[in-house]
Structure formats: structure tokens, C-alpha cells
Amino acid sequence: MAETYNDTRDRLQVYFNRTAAKTWERLTSDAPVSRIRQTVREGRDGMRARLLSALPQDLSGARVLDAGAGAGSASIELAKRGAEVVAVDISESLLEVARRRTPRELAPQISYCTGDMLSARWGSFTHVFAMDSLIHYNATDIALALDKLSARTSDKIVFTVAPKTALLSAMHLSGKLFPRSDRSPAIVPVREATLGQALSALGRRTPRSLGQEARGFYISHALELCP
């Protein structure tokens, strides 16, 4: 039986909240890490900057969903631009890290919320920022997730997928990013064309590529979906 969105989400919650919470807290800090994890850190930093560059520099008056906020790096940058940020993650452990790291002057602009990033209870948004929070899902589930978010978003959704490349497939078959005890649930490589077809079937526009970041063990493809 194929795994559902809810099944994957629940496994991710256990992983990020319990199994590897300390690992990801360290990875998202400036603490020394292994050479392999350093490439992941650099890749994530580059991807965050790439996605942020697709959004306005002045977000004053905008309400932005940070879908899969994790340790809060993007939420803080969005708040610096003036946005009201709803930072949602399934891991309360990582959100506690985010709260500790948030500068006091930006705290009133960011609401850290534990739960499903797709839930309608978070309300409507100007933009959605979803970095590496959809990479564990197949193209159909990603399209359905974007469809739900699009219904409540007036402007851009910027997000990432794991590109379907021979290199990435080989790395995830043979390369072991983390020790077995704290390895994350599988990343699902997705073709951009396949995702576009799935979105078209739901009456949504085809996403536009914003390019890729490839740093060692980190490979991710940035896209934007406009209304």
C-alpha cells in the first residue's frame, strides 16, 4: 500500500521531534560539523537565500507562512523584511530552538506554531515559503499540498523539491548523510515536468524554476508558483 501524506508527515514528526532533534539543532547553528554535514549546511544557506531573493525585499504588511519553519532561520529573515510570519512546523523541539534564536525585537512579528503546515487553521497569506518541507513527498502529494496552499495565498509560493537526477538517486541509495540512528525518512526525487502535470490536472499553473543548489550531499531545486 502506498504511503499517504499523513503517514509521511507522522514519520517526519517523530524524526525531527525526537530521533534527530539535536542533530538538526547543531546543523542549523554555526557549531562545527563533519565535512559532509557542512556541505548540507552550505547548501541550505544557499537555497534559503535563493528562495528569499524571489520575494520582495519589503514585506511590510505581508502575512507569510513559513511552512516547515524548523529552527527559524527563514522566519527571522522574513520578519527582518517587515513580514508578519506564521512559522509552522511539526517539531516542537525545533520550534523551541527557533524561539530561543529569534531576536527580541523581531519576536512580536513571528508566531511559532506546532502542527501541519497545510492546516486551514493558520488562515490566509500573501506568500508561502516552503524550503525542503515537501521533499519527502511524491509529485501527486506535493501538487495536492500546493493546491491547498494556493487556495489561501494571494501571491507567490516559493518552495523546493528534490530533483530527479541520476546523481541524487545514487547519493540516496549509497550515500549515508547521517548515522542510521538519526537518518531522516527517504527523500523522493521529483521531475519538474511531472509536478507541472499534476498541478495542471488540479487547475493550477505550472511552477517556474528558480534554479538548483548542489553542494556535496545537498541537492535541491527551487520553484515558484504564482496565482
Which residue from 216, 202, 226 is spatially nearest to 54, judged by alpha carbons? 226
- What percentage of the chain exceeds 70 in pLDDT? 90
- Nine-digit cell string for 179: 548515522
Q: What is the average pLDDT across 15-38?
A: 89
Q: Mind listing the pLDDT tens digit for each residue in 61-105?
A: 999 999 999 999 999 999 999 999 999 999 999 999 999 999 999
Average pLDDT over the chain reads 91
* CA proximity to 99, closest of 83, 84, 88, 110: 110
pLDDT at 178: 45
The pLDDT value given to residue 23 = 86
What b-and-e string marks burial along 53-64, b requiring 16 or more CB atoms within 10 Å of the CB? ebbeeebeebbb
pLDDT band at 175 (very low <50, low <70, confident <90, very high): very low
Predicted pLDDT of residue 172: 52
- pLDDT given at position 166: 65
* pLDDT of 184 strictly over 90: no
| pLDDT for position 177 | 46
Q: Where are the beta strands (DSSP E) in the chain?
A: 63-67, 84-89, 110-114, 127-130, 157-163, 189-190, 208-215, 218-225
In this structure, the chain runs to a length of 227
Angle at 135 between CA 197 and CA 11, to 5 degrees: 125
Please give the pLDDT value at position 188: 87
DSSP states along 37-70: HHHHHHHHHHHHHHHHHTS-S--TT-EEEEET-T
Instruction: Report how far residue 75's alpha carbon sits from residue 168's, in angstroms, rounded to the nearest whole number.
Output: 28
DSSP state, 181? G
Q: What is the mean pLDDT of residues 4-29?
A: 88
Task: Give the residue-averaged pLDDT of 109-115.
Answer: 98
